[in-house]
Amino acid sequence: MTTALVSSWNEWDPLEEVVVGDPTGACYDVTEPGHRPKRRGPRRDLPFPRGPKPADAIARARAELDGLAALLEARGVTVRRPAPRDFSPAVRTPDFTVEHQYGVACPRDVLLTVGPEIIEATMSRRARYFEHLAYRPLILDYWRRDPRMVWTVAPKPTMADCMYRPGFWDWPLEERHRRMHDYEFCITQDEVVFDAADVMRLGRDLLVQESMTTNRLGIHWLKRHLEPRGLRVHSVHFPLDHFPSHIDCTFVPLRPGLVLTNPDRPLQRGEERLFLDNGWQLVDAPLPSLSNEEMPEFCQSSRWLSMNVLSLSPRTVVCESAEHALHELLDGLGFEVLVVPFRHVYAFGGSLHCATWDVRRAGESGDHLPRQSYAPLDG
């Protein structure tokens, strides 16, 4: 074999193979210490549903995910899908019980490709504890066929009650604002915790957001695991985001030298120097077409899912079809903009970047931030 099956170093090189999520068997978000789902719109005061999602909602989301898969295949990308599973059974471990599981519409949350390595993230929510099992047949197949592939499983946390901060979800917004520079959220610092979707890859440099789904120990684990091989791990923070979860609606590298940024969530002061000192351009995304209240009733993400784009190459980006202002911005920046409808997928955990996990992109690791004025996370 002369070509690696698993190799992806950044978010923008030409996409060659990808896993697209599947909504089959998905359940509603579970209320648990690491997550408190809420409805939107006129029925926001009603209890949040429990158990499996209805067949018509799954069918609509599947049609959109299948449409994305068809677009990618038409562009020459190999598309693979996770094996369907039933997520309705409860999970019981020595440390916790949760009434049902979640689903696999968003593989980006669980799996991280760094060069020839696939890393299974710890995850932060009990309902997603065993989500990686849906991808194991694919990962095992890559491992068998690619002798250079490295398969790493991050240490599973207990998800016991002590892993979560009591009372967090009841703090008033004023309390969150007062504590915004503490970066202490619903998970404590007692165990290694990170979701893969809190990581952005830029060649030698990886950005990791400290959030409700990734703690400092999780960032330290990634640093100690990756930096001995010459990579650099940077902790990044967005203090105006009081409930941060996953970086791909906040800070989205589109190609070397260009990042799509969230005007509501600027980087912590000083952290932007890493990019500006290397000549990168930080461009604010336009306002999304929907307000937070207009988002789908059971969607748990903010309106900034508009930013959750998928790059097929440094010049081609896939966007949600209704985000016309973003299309115009990207067109003006020299991108070919491809569009697909994706609003029904929103309630299954995310948009285009969330719903995909790139396994192979053409290109090698590059040093796109050679001036390290903002040093990597201290050991």
Active site residues: 195, 246, 354
Q: Which two tokens stand for residue 363?
A: 């290109």
What's CA 351's distance to the chain center, in Å? 10
Name the amino acid, one letter, at 323. Answer: E
**Angle at the Cα of 45 from the Cα atoms of 346 and 342, rounded to 5 degrees:** 10
Q: Which two tokens stand for residue 154?
A: 């991050």
Dist. CA 296–CA 276, nearest whole Å: 36
**Angle at the Cα of 376 from the Cα atoms of 373 and 377, rounded to 5 degrees:** 135
Dist. CA 221–CA 217, nearest whole Å: 6
Q: 117-120 and 150-153 as β-strands: parallel, antiparallel, unpaired?
A: parallel
Torsion of CA 173, 183, 354, 255, to 10 degrees: 120
Q: 205-209 and 232-236 as β-strands: parallel, antiparallel, unpaired?
A: parallel
**Close Cβ partners of 365 (under 8 Å, ≥ 6 residues apart):** 9, 115, 203, 204, 231
Dist. CA 108–CA 60, nearest whole Å: 21
